[in-house]
Structure 1
Amino acid sequence: MASFDIVNEINQQEVDNAINNTVKEISTRYDFRGLHTEVTFHSKENRVHIVAAESMKMKAVQEMLIKNFIKRGIDSKVLEFGTEEGTSQGYLKMDATLKEGIDRETAKKIVKEIKATKLKVQPQIQDDQVRVTGKKIDDLQEIIRLMKSKDFGVPLQFTNMK
């Protein structure tokens, strides 16, 4: 029986590189000169902490983050921006969480979509991934093509093809 896993994984090193590129870009941009702006990555908690002087600068930092994530080959869908909050120094702060893994609801949608194809494959949910098994590799490749064409709100990778 051939199988593969549908997962949502984030390369921590690439995320770190994208954030470092954003910090570098902020330090060189003229419109950010003299304004307090910081972007820090907390890898253990999978979140990015952003502090900016005003709302427009916060939006500019978000756009830079998304642009640098795309440049580094990370799908921007993994970023989930929180709400802007004020700090005691008069700045704005925001946390952006990195979504990793496939939640239960999304996994159920994926399984339903696979079963609707009527191909002879068996999808099963395993923690934060979906394993698809079948006798024919052609059927599995067809499922991969189908999953790439659909949008489930999270980026999908296909691993462990056996």
Structure 2
Amino acid sequence: MASTYSFDIVSEFDRQELVNAVDQVVRDVKSRYDLKDTKTTVELGDDNITISTDSEFTLDTIQTIIREKAAKRNLSQKIFDFDKIEAASGNRIRQEVKLKKGISQEICKQISKLIRDEFKKIQASIQGDAVRVSAKSKDELQAVMTRLKQEDYPVALQFNNYR
């Protein structure tokens, strides 16, 4: 039996689920009566989504559809970072949606400080854009997970490599 147990706190999203959600958005744009003639495009890049459309009203509708489709596929709303709206050629507007992945050093420090302050027997170490948490008891690790779920961080947190 292992002497210590551990898990990693990360901020990731399922890329394939995001691809499927964006595909559904594109299908909705082509089939919805109010969006058919807007010549709206939604393109998924490596770390962003680009929306190009003809009005702010249509852009708001597309944002809502993206959020709904992502929620149905269990993607957190915290992965989306909507940039400001830019003017594009031909009386059109464009918006870039950055996809957040990884935990910043500042948030890693907040998480490890919270763990050190509230759980004396548990070690937390920052490893790049993740936090490794280890303890002698699985119950203590479960308590840490429960406590972190109560906090509202600006990134979506997942717990993996639980062993």
Could you tell me the TM-score, scaled by structure 2's length?
0.95
Aligned match of 2:117: 116
Matched positions, count: 160
Unaligned runs of 5+ in 2: none
CA displacement 1:104-144 (0-9 Å, x = unmatched): 11111111111121331010110010000111111111001
Aligned runs of 1:1-162 on 2, under 5 Å?
A: 1-43=4-46, 46-162=47-163
Matching residue's letter, 2:48: R
Identity over aligned pairs, percent = 32
- AA at the equivalent of 2:129: D
Gaps of 5+ in 1: none
Q: Considering only aligned residues, what root-mean-square deviation do their CA atoms show, in Å?
A: 0.9
CA deviations 1:74-118 (Å, max 9, x no partner) are 001100000100012110001001100101111111111111213
In structure 2, distance between residues paired with 1:56 and 1:27:
17
Partners of 2:36 and 2:21 in 1: CA distance: 21
User: What secondary structure is seen at the aligned counterpart in 2 of 1:83?
Assistant: coil
Please tell me the residue identity of whatever aligns with 2:65: M
Instruction: Indicate conservation of the 8 Å contact 1:39/1:50, yes or no.
Output: yes
> Do 1:119 and 1:139's aligned partners in 2 also have CA atoms closer than 8 Å?
no
Q: Deviations over 1:42-77 (max 9, x none)?
A: 12xx10010010011011101110111000110011
| 8 Å CA contact 1:2, 1:136 repeated in 2 | yes
What secondary structure is seen at the aligned counterpart in 1 of 2:106?
helix
Letter aligned with residue 147 of structure 2: L
The runs of 4+ residues in structure 1 deviating greater than 3 Å are none
TM-score of the two chains, using structure 1 as the length reference: 0.96
Query: Alignment partner of 1:116: what SS?
Result: helix
